[in-house]
Amino acid sequence: MRIDYNCEYFNIKDTLECGQVFRFNHYKDGYLVYSADKCAYVHTDGGKTLIDSDDGDYFYRYFDLDRDYGKIVGAALSYEIPLLSKSASLCKGLRLLNQNKEEMIYSFVISQNNNIPRIKGIINKICTRLGERMSSPYGEYYAFPSSSALAGADVSVFSEAGAGYRDGYLSSISKRICDEGIAKLENLSTEELKKELLTYKGIGPKVADCVALFAFKKTDSFPVDTWIEKVYFEDFNGKLKDRKKITEYFVNSFGEYSGFIQQYLFYGKRLNL
DNA sequence: TACCAGGACGTGC
DNA sequence: GCACGTCATGGT
């Protein structure tokens, strides 16, 4: 089935390439997007962003289509911060995805002290090796592996995929989730969720913020990585050095809009706006 | 060659 | 509690 949505506040390029998601490929005049075991073909035509998939409900929620981004962009512009205004106005079609929770946990554990092209490659290799083989009208692909598939794999599978020293984290976390599930992560406040995520070996404050934001849609989260640190020093005249305190500073400034604004700033900085 | 990339852990104090 | 060295890997 097909979903069509006005492209003013839904730009597929910005939404996919802003760094929140690692599983997508260029395809024809658009993109193939993968989430968990699902796949969609997304492209733009005649002022509409079109989503073709066999699970419209899933991708309607995935792309966060039930949310007013005009209001969010308006709030971002109201701060009159040059980098933020440039990014929010130029990338107002950037949407925060609702991604699969377990997939986000593993993906952002891989992301630590790493760069985006490598992260994508490592995840792709792990999916190819351990994920279920799927077919779609656009060709075959591999689902993101279940936690039991990850837990059953030898740690060498992760190192051979290029995960480096993070291989043990992936084994440890997948075994824990395979045993106990992630039910205890549900229905928590942002603070409670982040605190619980920190009990997984390999998840620190930054990854916990990313998982809270990109998987649990805790929009009062503000992940601070090397790029956001640069933003803080160069565009906010920041003086703090502790990343957790920088997170606090931004969340105190932007409240429930923190996660959206973080993404505008991160993407805008990487685009050198 | 040294430094960087969506950082976290273990140790020592 | 905090500072610091270390942890794979590939690109520049």
- DSSP letters, A82-123, are HHHHHHHHHTTT-------HHHHHHHHHHHTT--HHHHHHHH
- Low-confidence residues in chain A, pLDDT < 70: none
Which residues 6+ apart lie within 8 Å of A225 measured at CB? A206, A266
pLDDT of residue A165: 98
A207 touches A176 (CB < 8 A): no
Shortest CA–C1' contact from A200: which nucleotide?
A: B8
Q: What share of chain A is helix, strand, coil (3-state, %, to 5)?
A: 55, 15, 30
The pairing of beta strand A30-35 with beta strand A38-45: antiparallel
Q: Is the CB of A258 under 7 A from strand B?
A: no
β-bridge partners, A39: A34
Distance measured from the CA of protein residue A271 to the C1' of nucleotide B11, in angstroms: 39
Q: How far is the CA of A60 from the C1' of C6 (A)?
A: 44
Average pLDDT, chain A: 98
Residue A162, pLDDT score: 98
pTM, to two decimals: 0.98
Whole-number pLDDT of residue A252: 98
Give the angle subtended at the CA of A38 by the CAs of A102 and A212, to the nearest 5°: 30
Work out if A226's Cβ lies within 7 angstroms of strand B. Answer: yes
Q: Are A224 and A209 in contact (CB under 8 A)?
A: yes
In this prediction, residue A52 carries a pLDDT of 98
Q: Cβ of A113 < 7 Å from strand C?
A: yes
* pLDDT in the model for residue A155: 98
CB < 7 A to strand B: residues 100-119, chain A: 111-119
Q: Which nucleotides of C are covered by protein (CB under 7 A)?
A: 3, 7-11
The Cα angle at residue A259 between residues A79 and A44, in degrees rounded to 5: 95
Dist CA A91 CA A171 (whole Å): 37
| pLDDT at A266 (0 to 100) | 98
